[in-house]
């Protein structure tokens, strides 16, 4: 079994999952999964006879990531798409350090202006 890095959801060690199984594992309704397929082009399950969807482990992990972004982090669909494109659900520590450094520099500049 594989544990998803975004939460404590355990993904069963199977090759393919039906939409019903994916729905139960991710706690997302089937119609929502179909909608997300339209919105997130990266989410592209295998479609076989009768247009039946088969999700792979990577698809389940992506669904959990999308759910995390939308429901837990409060992103809009567009915001979640941008995060998926940038392949970051959270800022990296190095970008945080750079941001803090930039803010510190800006505050020091403001302080020097105020002291004049």
pLDDT in tens, 20-39: 999 999 999 999 999 999 99
Residues 97, 50: Cα–Cα separation, whole Å: 51
Residue 77, class by beta-carbon neighbours within 10 Å (0-12 exposed, 13-18 middle, 19+ buried)?
middle
Q: Which domain holds residue 77?
A: 2-90
Domain membership of residue 33 (yes or no) is yes
Domain membership of residue 76 (yes or no) is yes
The whole model's pTM is what? 0.67
pLDDT, one tens digit per residue, over 51-92 is 899 999 999 999 999 999 999 888 999 989 888 888 654 555
Domain membership of residue 19 (yes or no) is yes
Domain membership of residue 114 (yes or no) is no
Domain membership of residue 109 (yes or no) is no
* Tokens 């945080």 sit on residue: 96
Structure tokens at 108: 């020091």
């Amino acid at each position: 079994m594989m544990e998803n890095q975004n939460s404590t959801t355990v993904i069963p060690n199977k090759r393919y999952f039906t939409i019903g199984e994916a729905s139960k594992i991710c706690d997302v309704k089937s119609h929502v999964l179909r909608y997300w397929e339209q919105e997130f082009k990266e989410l592209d399950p295998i479609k076989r006879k009768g247009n039946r969807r088969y999700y792979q482990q990577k698809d389940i992990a992506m669904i959990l990531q999308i759910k995390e972004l939308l429901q837990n982090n409060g992103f809009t669909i567009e915001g979640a798409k941008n995060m998926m494109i940038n392949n970051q659900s959270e800022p990296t520590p190095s970008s945080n350090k750079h941001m803090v450094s930039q803010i510190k520099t800006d505050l020091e500049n403001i302080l020097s202006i105020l002291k004049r």
